[in-house]
Each structure stands twice: as structure tokens, then as C-alpha cells.
Amino acid sequence: MENRPNGAWGFTKRVSGLISGSRDESAVSEGALMAEFVDSSRHAESFRQAIQLALGALREVIHCESALLLEKHSAQVYRCIARVPGDCGDGCTVPAEGLLIGRLRGYSYPLPLKPGDFDAWSRWAAKKPEHLAEIECLRASGAALAVPLLAKNDIAGILLLGPPVARVEFSAAEKRALQSCAGQFALMMENARLTDRMVEQEKLSRDIQLAAEVQKRLFPDKPPATAAVTLAGISLPARSVGGDYYDFFDLGDQRIGIALADVAGKGVAAALIMSVVQASLRILASEENASLATLAARMNRFLHRSTGSNAYATFFYAQIDERLRQLRYVNAGHNPPCLLRCSADQSIEELPAGGTVIGLFPQSNYEEGVLDLQPGDVLIAFTDGVTEALNPKEEEFGDERLKNLLRRSAHLPVDEMASAITNELKNWIDDAAQYDDLTFILVKVSFSPE
């Protein structure tokens, strides 16, 4: 088998042969050119590097003073992405609705650019000064030939070549070869864009995975040990990173704190706000003898100062005093939690007392609610994703269905209750799309009656 030279030098020798062999006006094989492009850049570490290698090899083949490749970066401008010799630096830019693109749209072949053309354009632009910068940029680039890179009925880029060395102008065969090469450059640029997009998506995916891992660490590993109540918490994010938050606190002096918040929005931004809520709550909850209304007001001010104007959260916080057998709570715009009484009629009380959401206004006032607890009482606090969960028929799970489920499962240990509620929600949702996080906490009163 015949040995073929490799790399850009091999590309130069073989394409040079293709061009010199085409002086008889025979067509240059586009398939052969594609093979040479692939071979010249097979050792490139990226499509961007492959473009640079191919451009350098093409300059050697065509034997011109310089080669410059411009790519369409937006609907407004074409920018330099590769240049031989030298780096693009601030290189030549061409407006998408400018003079050169207008010419190339009406002339899809390699367009000669002569010094006299620039002079004529400059005189013409005396009455259209908006074109002067483009004309001077093209003149400074040393371009003698402009080749449009066509893709999907659009000009994806422009190949600008400097004057041919030791020749007056480019030959017809060279222009045909350049026209064939233009399609390959357009393909390489598209591959480079797709690769860059994939790399960015992979980076974003890694960032989201990291954010999800950080978010998991914001949730408590396990509830605090207490003989007075048993606790459980469940959170099922709609995305990899959710905006719901729950927490349990051992406040000492036979007091337990429980918290639940639903941050506006989803994804990484919501998770960051959630971390602000957690950090501020852990600091404020540790202060003794502070009313929960004051705690909520300070949480509101802290979140408002620390986040953007549209950042806010619904928030529920409660403290259980084992000695007094009381639950004190504040509800800041959150779905009212339900307290199932251990009685014959299994009555349910809602816990609405509080005020508006935290973080939306610089100043807000809140009120504290107080309830006496009895052995066997069960509290469920939940985010709106639970009651608004949709089944395949687009029916909401609803408050009443949740209350009935609470009554049916109240006899179970708290962990089994959490599993039963989770399974019921999953069965309800089935394969329907989930648009909001599903989070709830359970508190089952277990101290002995007096």
C-alpha cells in the first residue's frame, strides 16, 4: 500500500498536486479535499485547533501572503477566529449587514478585492460614513480575495486571503479549490460550535451535580433525639436542584425547632437563596428568649438585603417545648400546616398565624401562634408542591386528599407515615410531569400523658 504523508505538510503536498493537476480545467474533487482536511487535522486536540491547522495548510497550498477566517458570531457581526500568520488579536470584524456581505450574497464565488476597489468604496462611503470602518478594516487586513462559507442558505463565515505570492492573481483552479474548501471550513466551524456547546453543557451538568450535592448537605442528616416527639422529613426535587428546605434543631432546654421554606424559583439560583435562609435561621434560632414573630421579621430583613428584589420565600418555623407541651409557630406566607388531633373525630387544625413571605419587602410584621399538644397529635407541614401535584389527568392532589391520608396513616410510626405519604404521592403523579418540589415534615407527639 502506498505511504501517504501525514499532517499539514502532507495536506499541502497532496492538495497542491490536486490544484496543479487541475490546470486543464478539470474539476477539483470535493471528496478528496474533505479527506485532506481530515488528515491534516487528525492530531488536533479540538475543532478550533483543527481549523487553525487547516487554515495554515491552505495558505501553504494556495501560496498567499496571509489567510484570515471570520465566523458569524451573532446577527450583527463576523469576527476573526483564526489567522495565519499570527494571532487574530482584535482582528478584522465585518458587519453582517455591511458592504462585503452584501456583495457576497449576490456573488457566491470567491470575490477579488483590489486596492482600487477599496479606494472606490472609500469615495462612495464619503456619503455613507457608517461603512468607512468596515472598508478600512478590510484594507488593513491585506485581503485580496474573499470566499463566502455557505451553510443552510446563510453565510456562516468568510475566508479572507492575502495577495498570491509571485503571481498577479489567483488562478481559476485555485478559486475552484477554495470554493470547495469553503464548505469544509463551514462544516468544521459548525462542529466546533457544537463541540463548544457540548463542553459547556457538560460543565453546567457538573456544576448542577455539585450544587445538588451541596443542597443535600443543607438538609439534616437525622432528626434530633427526643422522647417527646418523633420527626421525619422528605424532599423530592422536581429538578436536580430544588428550592425547598426543611430543618430540625435541638435548641436545648428541652426545646425542638422545626423549619420549612419554599424559595421562589427553581434550580441553582433557588438553592443559593435556600442556603441564605438556612444560614440566617440557624443563627437567629440559637438566640434565647426571642419571640418567633421577631425571628421572622429579622429573617425577612436579612433575606431582603442579601438577595435580589424578586427573591423571596414562604417560611414556616415552630418550636416545641417539651416541658410546657406547647407548640409556638410563625407562618410567613406558607401553606398552613395541619395538626391532626388524637381524638375520636380526628379533627384537624390549620396553622395560619404569621404574616407575608420573607424577603420581598424591607419591613414586615408577623404574629406568633401557640397551641397545646396532646400525646398522639400529628403535625404535617408541607410545600405547595404536595397539594398541587398533578396526576396524568391534570388533577391536583389537593388539601382534602392530604388530610384524609394523614388520618389513615396516623397510627403508624412516623417513618412509616412518611413512606406511606410519599408512595401515595408517587402513585398519584404516576408518569405526569412534576413542576414543583414535593417536601413535607412530620411531627408525632409521643410524650406520656400526665
pLDDT over 50 (residue 4)? no
- Reference 225, options 86, 296, 302, 322; nearest CA is 322
CB atoms within 10 A of CB 139: 17
Q: Is the peptide bond before 85 cis (omega within 30 degrees of 0)?
A: yes
Highest mean pLDDT among 23-27, 80-84, 116-120, 414-418: 414-418
Residues 6+ apart with CB under 8 A from 53: 8, 40, 41, 44
H or E segment at 405? helix 399-409
Characterise 166 by phi-psi region: left (phi > 0), alpha (psi -120 to 50), beta (else): left
E strands within 244-393? 244-252, 255-263, 313-321, 326-332, 338-340, 348-350, 354-355, 369-372, 378-382
What is the rounded CA–CA span in Å between residue 21 and residue 16? 8
pLDDT over 70 (residue 448)? no
Within 13 Å of residue 379, how many CA atoms lie on the same side as its CB?
Answer: 30
Find the angle CA(369)-CA(371)-CA(377) to the nearest 5 degrees.
135
Task: List pLDDT tens digits, range 235-245.
Answer: 988 876 677 88
Structural domains present in the chain: 7-197 (3.30.450.40), 220-445 (3.60.40.10)
Strands in 348-350's sheet, in edge-to-edge order, are 229-236, 438-445, 378-382, 338-340, 348-350
Task: List pLDDT tens digits, range 96-122.
Answer: 999 999 999 888 789 999 989 999 999
Contact 349, 291 (CB under 8 A): no
Lowest-confidence range among 10-19, 202-211, 255-264, 268-277?
Answer: 10-19
Q: What pLDDT was estimated at residue 35?
A: 54
| Measured CA distances, 89 to 66, 108, 253 (Å) | 15, 28, 67
Q: What's 63's DSSP letter?
A: T
Question: Cell 504523508 belongs to which residue?
Answer: 5
Task: List pLDDT tens digits, range 392-410.
Answer: 999 999 999 999 999 999 9
| Helical axes 172-218 vs 267-285, angle rounded to 10° | 30
Q: What pLDDT was estimated at residue 9?
A: 44
What is the rounded CA–CA span in Å between residue 242 and residue 196? 27
Residues 6+ apart with CB under 8 A from 112: 144, 145, 169, 170
What is the rounded CA–CA span in Å between residue 322 and residue 229? 8
Sign of CA dihedral 53, 55, 58, 60: negative
What is the rounded CA–CA span in Å between residue 64 and residue 181? 15
Q: What's 48's DSSP letter?
A: H
Q: Which three cell numbers stand for residue 103?
A: 456583495
Contact 249, 224 (CB under 8 A): yes
Coil/strand/helix, residue 449 = coil
Q: What pLDDT was estimated at residue 415?
A: 95
Percent of the chain topping pLDDT 90: 47
Reported residue count of the chain is 450
* Bridge-based pairing state of the strands 369-372 and 326-332: antiparallel
